[in-house]
Every structure is written in C-alpha cells, then in structure tokens.
A and B are shown apart, each in its own frame.
Chain A
Amino acid sequence: MRTIRIVLFLIAILAGIAAGLYYGWRLNPARPAEGSLPDLRQDYRTDYVLMVAETYQSDNDLALASSRLSTLGSETPARLAQLAILRGTELNYSNQDVETLAKLSQALLTQPTAQGTAKP
C-alpha cells in the first residue's frame, strides 16, 4: 500500500512537471515571443541577404553592405553571402537574383577589408 502511494506521488510530481513545462514554454513563455535577425529562418535570411545585395548593386557601398549583413549573426558577411547563394539556388531564385548575390559575395571576398568595418 505504501509503495503504491509512493508511486502515485511520483506520478503526480511528473504530471505537475509536465503541466508546468507546457505552461512555461508554450502558454506563457518567460521571454516575450520576439526574436532578432539572427533567429530568422534560413529562407528569410537568404532574402535579407538578397536585399542587401540589391542595395549594394545600387550604391556600391561595400562597407555598408558588410555592416548590414553583420546584423544577421556572428558569421562573416562573405560567408553569409555564400550561404545565401547556395540557399537561393535551392529555393529556385531567379538567375538574376543569384547573380546579384554572387556579385556581393565576390566583392566581399576580394575586398576583405570591408569585413573589418562591419559594426556588430
């Protein structure tokens, strides 16, 4: 009888933990349900890089493009641009868009000093 009570007690604790986790993670998370640019899903990150590349194509400001890419996380701007090319190809981006990304990537690779000017 005593063993049964202990088992039931443990089951009650586990049920409480499950309910607490469900409430704390799903229903009422501790942090506001907002993320930042580095948390973006890969396809949205790719589109963000594409926007930076389009802007770079227009203003030719590599340092500014590098700075804008640096908001996406800790990876180097050149790496972000390379990954965007690969992901954009997977996502069937138009050749024009891939070309735009490639130009930015190439510029970032050939002028690595631009990466140094990126603001965190």
Chain B
Amino acid sequence: MRDRRRRRGRAPWFLLTGFILGLVLGFVYAWLISPVELVDIGPGTLNSLDKDRYRAMIALAYEADGNLERARQRLLLLKDGSGPLNLAAQAQRLAAAGTEEPESHALAVLAAALSPQSLPTPLPSPIPPTDVPTQNLTALAVSPSATLAPGEAVRTPTPLPSLTATITLTPTITLRPIVTFTPRYTEQPTATLGAPFSSKGKIQVCDPTLPHGLLQVEVDNGTGQGVPGVRILVTWPDNNQDAFYTGLMPDFGPGYADFVMSPQVTYSVRAGESGQEVQGLSISTCVSGSSTYPGGWKITFGQ
C-alpha cells in the first residue's frame, strides 16, 4: 500500500529520460549522419557564388538576345531584389578583379537597361513570330532540305553512345505552334561602331557635397546619348591602373562612371579600347570664400 502510494507520487522521469535520449539520437542523425541535402531548388536558393554565375548568365543571354522582359523575369527568380544595383555591384567586382570581361560588360549593360531611366521603346521593325522557325534545322532534320513548320517533326541529335544505356532520348521532337510571350526589346543606346571615343570637354567640378577628387566620366555616342558598358581605363604612374564600366550607376545616366582620385597623383583616363587618352588629371583646388577644398573633374567622351 505504501509502495503503491510512493509509486503514484513519483514523477514519470523515465518518460522524460526517454524523450531526451530520443531527441539526442534525432539530432545526431539529422545533423551528422544524414544532414539535409537540397535538391530541385530554385535559383533563389543558390549559394552566393552560383547566384553570381546565374546572374551573369542572365546578363549574357540578355546581351545576346536583347530580350529585357525575359531577363527581368529571370532575375526575379533569384529572389534577392536583383535590381540594377546588384548587377552593377557584381560588374564592379568583376571589373576590379580584372577577369570575366564579357560578364562584367554584360552585367553593366543589363544594369543600365533595367535602370528606371531606361524606358522601353518599341522595336523599329516587327519581331518574327516565335512559333515559326526562322531558318531550317538542316543539320538536325530528317531530310536535309526540310523546312520546319508547325506540326513537322525533326530528329533530335544522336544520343551519345556511352550514355544510351542510362537515358533514352525520344527519337523525335514535334514542334507545335504554341503561344509564347512576345519578346520585348528595350532599345539601348549603343556605341557607334568603329568610332573611337575622344574627349569632348573637361570641366572642373567644385561641389563640396561630392567626394573630394571625384573624377566623373560621361560617355556619349554619336547622337549624344549616354552609352552603358563602355570600359573606362584609368592609369597612373608606376603602371597602376583601374578599369570600370559606364552604366553601373544608372541614377546618374547610362553613360556615367566615376573614380575617386588620390592626392598628389596624376591620372590619365581613356574610354573604350582605342579611345583618346586624357592626361594630367589630378585633384583640383576649389575656392570657397577665403578657404579652399579639393575639387574634381568631369570629362565627356564622345564619338
């Protein structure tokens, strides 16, 4: 009787012990033995390195096809507010690293295209409908002279012999007329082909609200429109140089770029690969009343 009363009064500690023991086992299994592995993820879940790769591919694809709406939709998949700022920052990182030049250029161009100042304009000529192939797939078609039309079938590329055992490709692809969104094209100012950029003017900038020694560069094409994605090369003694691109700060216009000069250093700046070099740039002296402060320069390049 006394035993039973004692047993009733005892808390069920064995249950708590068992639960904690199971909890520990669960942690060990979930964290050490079989940790979570992500599969079938979206671009928004990529690590930062692969997000950069994905973003660069979006920019390169945009540069190739000029389809801004598609690029915008793809950027939305990254779910990181990939506006012009992210693109510009990545372009700047690549340009500073001195590698991946096509990528940084493409990123700068896309950043400029997505900037609020870039308003979409209609294409000058109609876009061919996307459901009709524009040319023959002679290399892939069953008949070398066959022209693809809606409903026609083409043979897919021959599967690699070594992989036929694992994956069987469907022998034919039937191209159906389908409704697709019409690619929208945003006309971006582009550099006039072949014409190098030359200096159109250099003015001293005295604005105490700007960073001291700010070198502002504006690059325009033959029609006076700012051109994004132009490589600006700044050099200074002892073989030092820095390269960056226009269009990375869309708020200041597609052809704008800037650079902060250091005191007592003389710089040269050039727009494009074979453009005219402007030499002898250093921090200017601005006068405000009886005091002075460091000023900058604004250089305009044109074609």
Chain A residues within 8 Å of B, Cβ to Cβ: 5, 8-25, 29-37, 39-42, 44, 47-48, 50-52, 54-55, 57-59, 68, 71, 76, 78-79, 81-83, 85-86, 89, 92, 94-99, 102-103, 105-106, 109
Contact = CB atoms under 8 A, between A and B. Distances in A.
User: How extensive is the interface on chain B, given as a class?
Assistant: 35 or more
B63 A85 contact: no
A24 B30 contact: yes
Given A10-B18, A13-B18, A95-B150, 6 more contacts: A12-B16, A24-B31, A78-B160, A82-B169, A95-B130, A106-B140
B130 to A, nearest CB: 4
Contacts of B156: 82, 85-86, 102
21 contacts: A12-B21, A15-B18, A16-B18, A17-B23, A21-B26, A24-B26, A24-B31, A24-B35, A34-B45, A37-B53, A39-B41, A39-B45, A40-B42, A44-B43, A48-B57, A50-B61, A55-B64, A59-B102, A99-B134, A103-B139, A106-B157
Given A19-B26, A48-B57, A85 B157 contact: yes
Which residue of A20, A85, A86, A95 has the most chain B CB atoms within 10 A of its CB atom?
Answer: A95
B156 to A, nearest CB: 6
Contacts of A24: 26-27, 29-31, 35-36
B142 interface: no
A16 B26 contact: yes
B207 interface: no
B133 A99 contact: yes
A86 B35 contact: no
Contact of B22 (A13, A34, A39): A13
Interface in B1-41: 12, 14-32, 35-41
B159 A82 contact: yes
B146 interface: no
Q: Which are the 3 A-B pairs with shortest beta-carbon distances?
A: A20-B26, A16-B22, A24-B30
B47 A34 contact: yes
The A interface, classified by DSSP as helix, strand, loop or mixed, is helix
B273 interface: no
Contact of B23 (A11, A19, A36, A37): A19
A68 B56 CA distance: 11
A102 B137 contact: yes
A118 B154 CA distance: 29
Contacts of B16: 12
A61 B33 CA distance: 43
Contacts of A78: 157, 160
Contacts of B165: none
Interface string B47-70: 110100110011011011100000
B148 interface: yes
Contacts of B203: none
Contacts of A51: 57-58, 60-61, 74
A86 B42 contact: no
B22 A30 contact: no
A94 B178 CA distance: 7
A89 B24 CA distance: 48
Interface string B117-148: 00000000000001111110101100000001
B77 interface: yes
A95 B57 contact: no
A81 B176 CA distance: 20
A5 B14 contact: yes
Contacts of A9: 14-15, 17-18
A28 to B, nearest CB: 9
B20 A16 contact: yes
B195 interface: no
Contact of A15 (B12, B19, B24, B158): B19
